[in-house]
Amino acid sequence: MTPAEPIQKAGPPAFWACALRAIRASTFPVRLPRCAALGLILLVPFAVVAADRLPVEDFAREPATSRARLSPDGKSVAFLRSYNGLPTLHVSEIGTKKVSRLDLGEALLLNDAPKGVGGYEWVSNGRLIIITTVWDGFYGVLAVDHDGDNAVPISGYEDNKIAINGSKLFAREVIHRFFDKDHNVLMLDRHEDGPGRTNRPDVLIVNTSDGMARRQVKNPGEVGSWAVDGAGVVRLGILSHGELSGAIYRENETAAWRTILPLENRKGQLRPIGFDAVHDKVFVAALTKEQRWTLFPLDPATGQMEEPLLTDPEYDILPDHYVPSLDGLALAAPIFTPKKDALLGLRYVTDAPRVRWFNRDYANRQKAVDHLLPDTVNLLVDISLDGKRLLWFSFSDQDPGVYYLMDEEHHTFAALGPCRPWIKPAQMAPMLAINYKARDGLVVHGFLTVPTGHPPKGLPLVVMPHGGPWVRDVWGFDPLVQLLANRGYAVLQMNYRGSPGYGEQLYQEARRQIGGKIQDDIEDATRWAIAAGVADPKRIAIFGGSYGGYSALFALGHNPELYRCGISYAGVTDWPAIYNDSDVAENKAAKQYWREQIGDPDKDKDMLRAVSPVNFADKIVAPVLIMQGRKDQRVPQDQAKRMIAALENAGHKPESLFISGVAHTYGREKDRIASFKTIVDFLERQLGPGVE
C-alpha cells in the first residue's frame, strides 16, 4: 500500500482552506442514489451496453486493501490484506515501499481454527491494539508494535493471567487513547468472567506496553455507559434501569459525582457521545419529539438539553440499536478533532451516506475532495494529531472504494490503495433507492439493483431480505449483489420494520413480529416490484442469510405463488430450539433481548412453533437450496439439518451445501468462491438465466 503519485496537485497553499466559499455548516450528500417512486422508476436513464459476464472469483476475492487507518503522526497506514486466505493486518510506511505483516497466529492448534482481526486501533505512532477473533467470535485483545514486535496480551484468551478480582479479563472496548509513552488506553470491563453485570461496566486504564490493567472508575451501580473528555477523564455516566434513564456528571477527576438527570422514562435510553472543550459542551444522543435519534448538547450545570444540532424528519442521525458501517467505518457517528477536544461534524445515513460539518475549514476540505472526486461518496476516516494529514475513503454503489491521503503540508492528494483494483466501476450495476407502502400504510425504504444496460422492466428478480432482523441495508458496493446483477438478475432489498435508522416507531413496530408484519413487509416489497413492472412475476427468487434465510423459508411456505425458488444461508428454522442451541444462550443480556423482541420460549412456545419453517415444510413446494457453515454458533448446523429432514419427510428434498471451516459468515476466500458459485448455479437452473 505504497502511495501512488499524487493524482492532482493543489494550487497555492491556500487551496484547501480558502479556494472554496466558506460556509458555517453544510450538508454534503455526495453522489446520492437515484430515488425512485412507484410511478417514476422507469424514467431513470440507463447505459445501453451491458457488462461482460465476469468471473465469480472477482466478487469473492479478499480486498487488496481494506479498513485502512492512519497512525497518529500521519506517517504510517495500517490496513487489512489477504495472506494465506485470511484478512491479515499490514502496516505501510507512507512514502516508502516498506510494508510489515503482523503475524497474529493465523491458525490455532485447536481444530485448525483461523484467527482473524476483528478490529484494531493505533494507540501511539508505533503501536496498535488489536481485537482477535476465532470462528467470527471474540477471542482476545493484544497490543503489538507496528512492525509486529513486542506483542503483549491484554485480555480474553490471548491472555493466560488472572486479572482483576481473581477473574479473567475480557475487556475489548477502547473508549480513549492517551497517545502517551506507555501507550495507555481506557477500556470497559463488563465483568464477563467475574462478579458484576455486563451492562454495568467499570472503566480500566490499561498499559498496552506491559498489559497491566487497573480500575480507573468503579460503577456506582446504575451506569450503563460512560463518556470521556479529551484529557482522558471519565466525567459523564448514563444511568439506566429498565425503561428509565438519567445521567451523573463531575467537573474533574477529583470532583464528586452528582446527578444532573434523575432516572425517569425518557422514551428511549440516553447515550453519551462526548465532550467539546473548545465550546464547553457535553453531547448525548436522545430522541426528538418526532422519535428520531440525534445529537443534543447537554448543559451539565442544569441538566437541560439544548436544541438538537441536526435533525431529519424521516431518518435517525445517530441511530440506536445498530450503526451501519462500510469497510469498518461507522457511517453514523460524530467526528471529533484527533485530540477529542472539539466536535467537527457528523456522519449519518439517509438514502445514502452523508456528512454535516460544523467546522468551516473541514467543510472546505470536503468541497475540495468532492471537486476532485465528483462521482463518489467521500468520507473523512482519520486525521493525524497535528492535523496536517487526512485519510479519506471514496466509494459508490459501483465502486468498491479507494483510500486517499491529503497532505496539507505538501499540498498533495494521493491515492494510497484501491480496495478491489480488479473491479471496473463502469461494469457494475447501479443501486437505486426505492420506497413503497406496506399494507398497513407504513412507508418502507429499500434498494433496487438493476443489471447494467437494462431498464428496470420485466426482469428476473432476486428478493433479498437482510439478516438481523435488527440491522439495515445501506447504499454502497455489495459484492454478492453485484455478482447477481452481473448474472442478469435484478436484486431487491428492503429495510423492513425493525431496521434501525428510520425512527423508533418503525424499529419497535417489529417487536414480536417474526412471521408477522416483518414478513408482510417482505411480501409487499415483492408485490410492489410486480405492480411496478420491475419483475417478471414468473421469475422471482427469494434469498437471505441468517434471519434473511429464515424469511426466505417462511415466504416459500406462506406465499408459494410468488417465488419460483429460494435460498436460505444459515437461516433459522426452529425458533424454540435456537434459544438453547445458539451462542445467544450463553449471553444473558442477549437472550433477554430475544425474549422481549422475538418472543418468550416458555410463554410464547406455540407462537414460535407456528412461525418455525420446520413445522410447515409440507407447504414449501418450490426448489430450495439450504446452505450452512459447520462452525456456525449463532445458527448451528442442526437448524439446517432439521429443515432438510422436514422437507424430505414432506417429499420435497432440498439441495444443500454444508461448508467446513465456516461460521456465521461466508468464510474465507475459497469458501466464498464455492458458496457464490453454488448460489449462481442454483439460480440459473431454477430461476433460469438472467438477462444478457
Mean pLDDT, residues 523-535 taken together: 97
Task: Report yes or no on 365 lying in a domain.
Answer: no
Q: What's the half-sphere exposure (Cβ side, CA atoms, 13 Å) at 636?
A: 14
Q: Which parts of 48-98 are beta strand (E)?
A: 66-70, 76-83, 86-93
How far is Cα 138 from Cα 158, in angstroms, rounded to an integer?
10
Retrieve residue 335's grid coordinates.
467526528
Q: What does the pLDDT look like over 631-675, one tens digit per residue?
A: 888 899 999 999 999 999 999 999 999 998 888 888 888 899 999
What is d(CA 561, CA 554) in angstroms, rounded to the nearest whole number?
Answer: 13
pLDDT surpassing 60 at residue 13: no
| Grid coordinates of 530 | 410486480
C-alpha cell of residue 511: 417487536
Q: Mean of the pLDDT values across residues 40-52?
A: 44
227-277 residue pLDDT tens: 999 999 999 999 998 889 999 999 999 999 999 999 998 877 899 999 998
Choice between 612 and 97, residue whose per-residue pLDDT is larger: 612
pLDDT in tens, 483-524: 999 999 999 999 999 999 999 999 999 998 999 999 999 999
Mean pLDDT computed over 47-59: 77
The answer to whether residue 395 is domain-embedded is: no
* pLDDT attached to residue 380: 98
- Residue 452: domain span: 429-686
For the record, the C-alpha cell of 194 comes out as: 467475574
Give me the number of domains the chain comprises: 1
Question: What is the H or E stretch that residue 118 is in?
Answer: strand 115-124
Asked, for residue 121, whether it belongs to a domain, the answer is: no
Length of the chain: 692
Q: Report the CATH number at residue 470.
A: 3.40.50.1820
Rounded Cα gap, residues 432 and 46, in angstroms: 12
- Among the residue ranges 163-167, 170-174, 302-306, 534-538, the one predicted with the least confidence is 163-167
pLDDT-derived band at 316 (thresholds 50, 70, 90) equals very high
User: C-alpha grid cell for residue 155?
Assistant: 485480555
The answer to whether position 441 is within a domain reads yes
Q: How far is CA 648 from CA 200, 551, 614, 655, in A?
A: 48, 20, 11, 10
In a domain, 16, yes or no: no
20 — pLDDT class (breaks 50, 70, 90): very low
Sign of CA dihedral 665, 669, 670, 674: positive
Please enumerate in sequence order all residues whose Cβ is within 8 A of that of 685, keeping only pairs 6 or more positions apart, or say none: none
Per the confidence metrics, is the pTM higher than 0.85? Answer: yes
Residue 79 above 60 pLDDT? yes
**Composition of the chain by helix, strand, coil, percent to 5:** 20, 35, 45
Q: Are 585 and 577 in contact (CB under 8 A)?
A: no
The residue-averaged pLDDT of 101-112 equals: 65
**Is residue 185, in this structure, part of any structural domain at all?**
no
Mean pLDDT of the 120-129 span: 95
Grid coordinates in use for 578?
435456537
Lookup: cell for 349: 445515513
- DSSP strand pairing (655-659 vs 624-629): parallel
Query: pLDDT by residue (tens digit) across 238-247?
Result: 999 888 999 9
Q: What is the mean pLDDT of residues 207-222?
A: 94
Q: Is residue 138 in some structural domain?
A: no
Q: Does residue 88 surpass a pLDDT of 50?
A: yes
pLDDT per residue as tens digits for the range 137-151: 889 999 999 999 999
Given a cut of 60, is residue 45 above it in pLDDT? no
**pLDDT tens track for 665-685:** 888 888 999 999 999 999 999
Split at pLDDT 50, 70, 90, the class of 280 is confident
Q: Report which of 80, 173, 79, 119 is spatially closest to residue 391, judged by C-alpha positions.
A: 79
